[in-house]
Amino acid sequence: MSIDTYAAFAASPSAPARRLQAVTPADGADLPSLAKALFIGAAGDLRIVPVASLDGEAVTLKNHPIGYVAVQTRRVMATGTTAAHIVALFD
């Protein structure tokens, strides 16, 4: 018997995250996996590259409060990000 009672369930955007990782913003590097969402621990500007950004352009979420960012993200930019204690959520 497995202690992971959710192992048989399919991953979905609305399902709880199964893995978390602290994020170090970087202008030249994507996250190790595509994040289903982010958590911001200290409010500020958040500059990200969404998963489906066709041109790879970053978008700034100005003055984002502490809490979740429900945007699938491939990169958190160092330039333009003043939010802190960022955590990526993965399946």
- The domain segmentation of the chain, as residue ranges, is 28-90
Give the pLDDT score at 79.
98
| Sheet strands (E) in the chain | 19-22, 37-42, 44-50, 59-64, 67-69, 73-76, 84-90
Report yes or no on whether pTM surpasses 0.85. yes
pLDDT in the model for residue 1: 56
pLDDT tens digits, one per residue of 17-30: 889 999 999 999 99
Distance, in Å, from the CA atom of 38 to the CA atom of 42, rounded to the nearest integer, reads 12
